[in-house]
Amino acid sequence: MSRTRTRTALLAALALVGGATGTAMAAAPGDVGAAAVPCTVDYQVQNQWDTGFTASVTVTNHSTAKNAWSLKWSYAGNQQITSAWNAKVSQSGAAVTAANESYNGTLATGGSVSFGFNGTYSGTNAVPAAFTLDGVTCNVDDGGGGPTDPPDPDPTARVGNPYSGAKVYVNPEWSAKAAAEPGGSRISGQPTGVWLDRIAAINGVNGGMGLRDHLDEALEQKGADELVVQLVIYNLPGRDCAALASNGELGPTEIGRYKTEYIDPIAAILADPKYADLRIVTTVEIDSLPNLVTNTGSRPTATPQCDVMKANGNYVKGVGYALNKLGDVPNVYNYVDAGHHGWIGWDDNFGASANTFKEAATAEGATVNDVHGFITNTANYSALKEENFTINDAVNGTSVRQSKWVDWNRYVDELSFAQAFRSQLVSVGFDAGIGMLIDTSRNGWGGSARPTGPGALTSVDTYVDGGRYDRRIHVGNWCNQSGAGLGERPQAAPAAGIDAYVWMKPPGESDGASREIPNDEGKGFDRMCDPTYTGNARNNFNMSGALPDAPLSGHWFSAQFRQLMANAYPPLS
């Protein structure tokens, strides 16, 4: 699955004035023949405020393939670009030039490339009237359908970044629960992931919405716009071999049921032509493949269950099968779960994990082209950016890497890890255009406990602990963490190599029960969800930091939801 495909549909030309935001296509007056349309440009303002804005640009090449490219435009107002990602952007007066980075210079015939930037303005933030790609003016089909119009793009062709220029599906079931909480209406309109965590979820559990229900609702929300639906594929045999709270319904050897009763029905529904105009993002098997690296063999964190899954190969086979079958649907974008920096950011785990992902992506008929990208920090709490210290800092000659918190990890936050791991994945054979998603649903760490500057220089530990935003007791703590807050709101193309910040884990849904609760959902009791638990090797025998009185994983946890809102960063208004 190439990430450089044409746009799903071209939007009508639209000018932005005053405080409005939206999208615009470069257009030439009158009808033009297909051969006269060398390129199309989608310039979209993602966010705008009184003095600044964030924009994304998608360029589609309809002419000869390129090994390098340069896009130019001019502003009619006083817009000034202040930072950019996925392109080298320079500005002289009103004139702007965006050139490829080393990793995205290839632009095939029919291929697309996306980049983004931040800028300032005053007065009117009008969309540029014209664009040129390597000196040739770009334009678009005017929608007239005349005999000399260029052909409309394939409605099922994939775009470089599915989130660019698109709305994202709001799950009405989650939205209703959020809105019912005091102050919850402030975020109840945010998009979240739909978790297909068992076979029954395909048709709906206990009268709830099934997959077709969500897709039908997505079509209603879509209207004439582009819309992304986010699905979590989460039902591997022997699921979550290192954690009991989210064990699944399928035993370690039930790979046949996984294929025929779970993946095949999902793929069949997604392939229904009725849903061809939706951009369907699948996040494939959370918390699975990294376990084969970190929790097997002679490591102190190993579990017998993970050793079994490594020996029988069913994690690799299951992920490969899912990528193959789901990747056959033209409007599906597969993103594989890649843990988080506090799991695979260490030297021993970093490269080995990338190799394991490559193994899975080439199993059961899958290829690396079935992978559109990777997602990190799903259902976890790692801070997006630690701004009060860096991995290169030292205190009294002692490196930050030697602090108890960092513990020789090479990364201190999720953004730096995701960007570096993307490069590692490309180096082992994944497409150079892969993008990353970062789950920011619970990593804001705001409120009164958020540090306002570096810690004291007494020691490397006081320096790091006093300045870190992530207030967990240990980076290995993962269950219903006390003090956590909502993070960055979902947004497209926020940083270099990042397709989107997402809320894949719906805020307010529990990670696991604080005590053993009998259930028919295949979910066990993990002591890491017990606030009185003193820990294990995976969190260096620290307290769990979990909230009390939590329900089963996936069930609504009102106290957690209210805490997340209170500690949100950026704060809620």
> Tens digit of pLDDT for each residue in 141-186?
333 333 333 334 444 468 999 999 999 999 999 999 999 999 999 9
58 and 177 within one domain: no
Range scoring the smallest mean pLDDT among 132-141, 394-403, 465-474, 555-564? 132-141
How do residues 228-243 score in pLDDT, each as one tens digit? 999 999 999 999 998 8
Cβ count near 531 (within 10 Å): 16
Is 215's pLDDT higher than 50? Answer: yes
Q: Say if 47 falls within a structural domain.
A: yes
Residue 395 phi, psi dihedral angles, 5° rounding: -125, 120
What's the pTM? 0.75
Q: What is the CATH number of the domain that holds 68?
A: 2.60.40.290
Is 29's pLDDT higher than 50? Answer: no
According to DSSP, the β-strands at 435-439 and 498-502 are: parallel
Q: What does the pLDDT average to over 127-135?
A: 88
Q: Say if 466 falls within a structural domain.
A: no
Catalytic residue among 142, 287, 393, 470: 287
Cβ count near 105 (within 10 Å): 14
Is 4's pLDDT higher than 60? Answer: no
Q: Say if 429 falls within a structural domain.
A: yes
CA gap 353, 566 in Å, rounded: 35
Provide the pLDDT for residue 154: 46
Provide the pLDDT for residue 204: 95
180 and 76 within one domain: no
Is 198's pLDDT higher than 70? Answer: yes
Task: Point out the domain boundary residue: 96, 121, 137.
Answer: 137
69 and 113 within one domain: yes
Is 28's pLDDT higher than 90? Answer: no
Q: Say if 471 falls within a structural domain.
A: no
Provide the pLDDT for residue 153: 40
The total number of structural domains that make up the chain:
2
353 and 270 within one domain: yes
Provide the pLDDT for residue 36: 57
Active-site residue flag, 264: no
Provide the pLDDT for residue 146: 35
Range scoring the smallest mean pLDDT among 70-74, 139-143, 326-330, 357-361? 139-143
CA gap 7, 11 in Å, rounded: 10
How do residues 87-108 score in pLDDT, each as one tens digit? 899 998 889 999 998 888 888 8
234 and 366 within one domain: yes
Which among 314, 208, 320 is positioned nearest to 257, based on CA atoms? 314
245 and 188 within one domain: yes
The secondary structure of 240-308 as a DSSP string is: STT-STT--SS-TTTHHHIIIIIIHHHHHHHT-GGGTTSEEEEEE-TT-HHHHHHSSTTSTT--HHHHH
CA gap 565, 486 in Å, rounded: 6
Q: What is the CATH number of the domain that holds 234?
A: 3.20.20.40
Provide the pLDDT for residue 3: 40
Which among 230, 326, 278, 220 is positioned nearest to 9, based on CA atoms? 278
What does pLDDT average to over the chain?
89
The band of 124, judged by pLDDT with boundaries at 50, 70 and 90, is confident
The residue assigned the tokens 């106290």 is: 559
Provide the pLDDT for residue 141: 37
CA gap 412, 401 in Å, rounded: 9
How do residues 318-341 score in pLDDT, each as one tens digit? 999 999 999 999 999 999 999 999
Tell me the percentage of the chain whose pLDDT exceeds 70.
90
Q: Say if 456 falls within a structural domain.
A: no
Q: Say if 13 falls within a structural domain.
A: no
Active-site residue flag, 511: yes
368 and 251 within one domain: yes
Q: Which phi-psi region, left, alpha or beta, contains residue 549 (left: φ > 0; alpha: ψ -120 to 50)?
A: left
196 and 65 within one domain: no
Residue 367: enclosing H or E segment and its boundaries?
Answer: none
Q: Say if 15 falls within a structural domain.
A: no
Provide the pLDDT for residue 165: 92
Helix (H, G, I), strand (E, B) or coil at 558: helix
Cβ count near 45 (within 10 Å): 18
CA gap 25, 104 in Å, rounded: 22
How do residues 286-323 score in pLDDT, each as one tens digit? 999 999 999 999 999 999 999 999 999 999 999 999 99
42 and 187 within one domain: no
Q: Where are the alpha helices (DSSP H) in 341-468?
A: 341-344, 347-361, 414-427, 460-467
Catalytic residue among 142, 197, 499, 511: 511
182 and 111 within one domain: no
Q: What does the pLDDT average to over 495-512?
A: 96
Q: Say if 238 falls within a structural domain.
A: yes
Range scoring the smallest mean pLDDT among 120-134, 167-181, 556-570? 120-134
Provide the pLDDT for residue 286: 93
Provide the pLDDT for residue 46: 77
Range scoring the smallest mean pLDDT among 48-52, 222-226, 240-244, 538-542? 48-52
Chain centroid to CA 507 = 15
Tell me the percentage of the chain whose pLDDT exceeds 90.
72
CB of 316 within 8 A of CB of 360? yes
Range of the domain at 69: 23-137
Top mean-pLDDT range of 30-34, 35-39, 468-472 = 468-472
The first and second tokens of residue 335, run together, are: 């993103």
Is 10's pLDDT higher than 70? Answer: no
Provide the pLDDT for residue 243: 82
Residue 509 phi, psi dihedral angles, 5° rounding: -95, 125
CB of 4 within 8 A of CB of 112? yes
313 and 446 within one domain: yes
Is 378's pLDDT higher than 60? Answer: yes
Task: Point out the domain boundary residue: 137, 158, 191.
Answer: 137
The answer, yes or no, to whether the previous bond of 155 is cis (omega within 30 of 0) is: no
Q: What does the pLDDT average to over 356-380?
A: 97
69 and 186 within one domain: no
CB of 98 within 8 A of CB of 57? yes
